[in-house]
Amino acid sequence: MSIRLDNISKQFGKFEALSPLSLDINNGEMIGLLGPSGSGKTTLLRIIAGLENANTGTIHFGDHDVTNVHVRERRVGFVFQNYALFRHMTVADNVAFGLQVMERALRPSPAEMSKRVKQLLEIVQLGHLAARYPEQLSGGQKQRIALARALATKPEVLLLDEPFGALDAKVRKDLRRWLRNLHDELGFTSVFVTHDQDEALELSDRVVVMSNGKIEQVDSPVELYAHPNSRFVFDFFGNVNQFKANWNNKHWQNGNAFILPPVAEATQKNGYLYVRSHELSLSKKANSQASLPCKVVAINPVGAEVRVELSPIGWDTTELWEAKLTHQVLNEQSFSRGDEVYATPQVGYFFADGVRGEPIILRWPFLAPGHLMFDI
Amino acid sequence: MSGSHAVSRPKHQRVLPGFAISLGVSLLFISLILLLPATGLVMQTKGMSLSEYWYVISDPRLVASYKVTVGSAFAASLFNGVFGLLLAWILVRYQFPGKRILDALVDLPFALPTAVAGITLATLYSSTGWLGNLLESIGIKVAYTPLGIIVAMAFTSIPFVVRTVQPVLEEISQEEEEAGMTLGASDWAVFWRVIMPSLRPALLVGVALSFTRSLGEFGAVIFIAGNMPYVSEITSLMIFVRLQEFDFPAASAIASVVLLTSLSLLLIINLWQGAYLRRIHGK
């Protein structure tokens, strides 16, 4: 079932939770709503479910206008952040609830019902827990029961609010894959809310990045990574270093650090330069395209890479910089904690002040080899 | 961080005073303020033979008072079950001006001397009182009738229901109701299948406390009851009458009946609630 949101907005008193926004979700798609807390992502999910009414705009499920359809008639599956299992019912009764409250004419016979419950519990691989009560289950088990309960009435739309938020890392990873498989197998349309970018990128066909009640960008994970269209998106996806670039008619200056941009009018401005941590090289010498003196604060080997934390010397950043190097590079250069090094970007993303939209992508070195004063 | 030095504190050290002392002190106080008077009560009856005991407690006038007391207490606690739940519901679920005042008012029956409550209710519901006047015009007499007993009992015991239901209601997340709705349940089904089952143990305890309190209520009731033998006499009044006749054994015998009834009811409720919780938690 496709979902079309048109001009949806929501206010809580004077607080504007959602500015008018529109979004098309295709049939069978898995969409991640990603944003920091307070960005309006949960509100949007609840509006899709019908648990919250929008102040303006319309919602269509397929061709059907559901804007004023009550939550119980929208027939969506909803998985709550804290699972919201019914404490006084067994697992089997929880799963059967949606079937038991159906209108008499539509309600399956008791035999069919218990067959369906059994089947659902098998799908979530928890058939052996049918007689337990929710409080006797682990977080991951509760999550899967909540999912089975939501799927019992065969909804075509499944909505999940922070589905893995309360689980530990290992369980989270397993459940993520499992949910993705289930989604592909059963073919419903899913929308889930998360504040974890890894989760959004791993699970979604498309990611909706939100901030302050607005949609910042809607794109596939690959596109989002390659073409983040705003500073917010860049910041939010993390693993990125920020350089406040002040143009002084020669280069970008920040304290006693500088970066020389390629000669082009668009870059000869004040703005922000973003450098991904794996697109940053370190050297013990400065060079003519960039001089970013840093002190090595920490060296953390993580799997195949080494993360080097850098604190700027004589220039300002809001956060420490980070460079991701291979073990080989690190061995060749042999830094240790406390060393003074120079960072040099290989690829940078420049957002000029006052200009909206995608950044200008810069690649170094742009000077012909003969013009370099120092090696990079 | 582990190692042989990890366990350096003595094994039995706790923040609170030791089990032996706290249990000892608790038992002492329970004995002094609960068990001793109860034992005294039973001791008062020891001079009676079983047949004398039975004779005293099966006196027809007294039996009529049992019926009045139990019936009224039952009606009052049912009334409190419904309206106490409603009151707890609005206190937990809604925001409105004066909510804190209403919340405080709920405890008023506890704070007010019951005799004051009784006199006030009697005045209010008498045929010349504000409410009694109105009710009389539609043919309902409250003061000095069995209905008055119910009103007085309901008044003095409603906090029990509100205060036991309120915290449980606060604990039920709105998400459970919303989950019910997303699964297609009507408001009615959500209330009966989702909210009530979680609330039932607390509600039952509240109603049971309200009932036992009503069984023993004296001050508030006698001023409004009219106290007509066989019609509107409550058991506590009968105890009082025996006391005034200095017939302490008889008074104690009647009191022991009330005490036993209340205790067994509370015990049953307690056992039932324990079984329920064990089932839910699987222990």
User: A316: how many CB neighbours lie within 10 A of its CB?
Assistant: 10
Distance from CA of A342 to the nearest CA of B (A): 37
Interchain CB contact of A225 with B (< 8 Å): no
CB contact residues (below 8 A), chain A span 145-164, against chain B: 149-150, 152-153
Q: Has residue A165 been placed in a domain?
A: yes
Q: Does any domain span residue A231?
A: no
User: For residue A370, is pLDDT > 90?
Assistant: no
Residue B61: which H helix or E strand, with range? helix B60-93
Q: What is the pLDDT of residue A375?
A: 46
pLDDT range class, residue A218, cuts 50, 70, 90: very high
Average pLDDT of every residue of chain B: 87
Test the A interface: residue of B95, B175, B182 with most A CBs within 10 Å? B182
B212 vs B16, higher pLDDT: B212
pLDDT greater than 80 at residue A52: yes
Percentage of residues in chain A with pLDDT exceeding 90? 45
Check whether residue A136 and residue A270 sit in a common domain.
no
Q: Does B185 contact A72 at a Cβ distance shorter than 8 Å?
A: yes
Let me know if residue B218 belongs to a domain. Answer: yes
Mean pLDDT of B144-154: 89
Reported confidence tier of residue A373, pLDDT bands at 50, 70, 90: very low
> Does pLDDT of A56 surpass 70?
yes
Q: Would residue B73 count as lying in a domain? A: yes
Spatial CB neighbours of B28, under 8 Å, sequence gap ≥ 6: none
Q: What angle do CA B233, B235, B239 make, to 5 degrees?
A: 110
| Residue matched to tokens 């899967």 | A144
Q: pLDDT tens digits, residue range A241-297?
A: 989 988 888 888 898 888 888 777 777 889 999 999 888 888 888 888 888 999 999
Res B72: pLDDT: 94
Reported confidence tier of residue B283, pLDDT bands at 50, 70, 90: low
- Facing residues of A257 across strands? A254
Partner-chain contact A87 B175, CB within 8 Å: no
Total count of domains within chain B: 1
Hey, what's the torsion of the CAs at A234, A240, A246, A251, to 10 degrees? -120
pLDDT over 80 at A148, yes or no: yes
**pLDDT of the residue at B74:** 95
What are A5-50's pLDDT values in tens digits? 999 999 998 899 999 999 999 999 999 999 998 899 999 999 999 9
Report how many domains make up chain A: 2
Q: Which tokens in the block code for residue B105?
A: 């008012």
Model pLDDT, residue B152: 92
What's B233's domain CATH number? 1.10.3720.10
CB A316 within 8 A of CB A257: no
Same domain membership, residue A207 and residue A264? no
Boundary-marking domain end, from A201, A226, A251: A226
Chain B: give the shortest CA distance to residue A20, in Å: 25
Q: What residues in B contact A78, CB-CB < 8 Å?
A: 178-179, 182
Rounded CA separation A328/A346 (Å): 18
Question: pLDDT at position B10, please?
Answer: 54
Of B173, B178, B189, the CB nearest to A101: B189
Residue B16: the pLDDT is 66
Which band of pLDDT confidence, cut at 50, 70 and 90, is reported for residue B77? very high
Instruction: Give the CA count within 13 Å in the CB-facing half-sphere of B35.
Output: 7
Q: Is residue A49 part of a domain?
A: yes
- B95 lies within 8 A of chain A by CB: no
- Considering the domain architecture, whether residues A84 and A135 belong to the same structural domain is answered as yes
Q: Of B17, B183, B165, whose CA–CA distance to B80 is shortest?
A: B165
pLDDT band at B17 (very low <50, low <70, confident <90, very high): low
A88 touches chain B (CB under 8 A): yes
CA dist A162 and A33 (Å) reads 10
Nearest to A78 among B176, B179, B279 (CB): B179
Pair A177, A256 in one domain? no
Point out the domain boundary residue: A175, A204, A226. A226
Task: ipTM value, please give it.
Answer: 0.79
Q: Is A248 a domain residue?
A: yes
> What phi and psi values does residue B151 have, to the nearest 5 degrees?
-60, -45
Distance (Å, whole) CA A82 – CA B19: 37
As a whole number of angstroms, the distance between CA A125 and CA A148 comes to 10
The two tokens of residue B114 are: 């019951």
Domain boundary among A162, A192, A226: A226
> Where on the phi/psi map is residue B211: left (φ > 0), alpha (ψ -120 to 50), or beta?
alpha
pLDDT reading at B211 higher than 70: yes
| A51 part of contact set with chain B, CB < 8 Å | yes
B245 occurs within a structural domain: yes
What CATH number has the domain bearing residue A302? 2.40.50.100
Q: Is B180 on the interface with A (CB under 8 A)?
A: yes
Q: Answer whether residue B129 is part of any domain.
A: yes
Residues A243 and A230: beta-carbon distance below 8 Å: no
Q: Tell me whether A104 touches chain B (CB under 8 Å).
A: no
Q: What per-residue confidence (pLDDT) applies to A65?
A: 94
**What average pLDDT does the segment A122-140 reach?**
90
What would the pLDDT profile of A68-100 be if each residue is shown by its tens digit? 999 989 999 999 998 999 988 999 999 999 999
Answer yes or no: is B21 within a domain.
no
Mean pLDDT across chain A: 88
Range of the domain at B261: 44-281
Q: Is the pLDDT of residue B21 over 90?
A: no
- Residue B52, in any domain of the structure: yes
pLDDT tens-digit map of B90-142: 999 889 999 999 999 999 998 889 889 889 888 888 888 888 888 888 888 88
Q: Report the share of chain B in percent with pLDDT over 90.
A: 40
Judge: A51–B178 Cβ closer than 8 Å, yes or no: yes
The span from the CA of B137 to the CA of B148, in Å, is 17
Residue B271 belongs to some domain of the structure: yes
**A71:B178 CB<8 A:** yes
* Residues A265 and A348 both lie in one domain: yes
Written as six digits, the tokens of B148 are: 């008055």
Q: What is the pLDDT of residue A85?
A: 93
- The reported pLDDT for the residue numbered A24 is 95
Residue A232 counted as domain residue? no
Residue of A nearest to B283 (CA): A136
For A198, the domain range is 3-226
For position A26, what pLDDT does the model report? 94
Cis peptide before A261 (omega within 30 of 0): no
- Say if residue A209 is in the same domain as residue A262: no
Statement to judge: residues A11 and A137 lie in one domain: yes
A210 and A285 assigned to the same domain: no
Mean pLDDT to the nearest integer, B207-219: 91
* Residue B4 domain flag: no
Region A108-119: mean pLDDT is 92
Buried b (16+ CB within 10 A) or exposed e, B182-200: bbbbeeebbeebbbeebbe
A84 vs B197: CB contact, 8 Å cut-off? no
| Residue A140 or residue A366, greater confidence | A140
pLDDT of residue B2: 42
pLDDT at A366: 63
Position B1 scores a pLDDT of 41
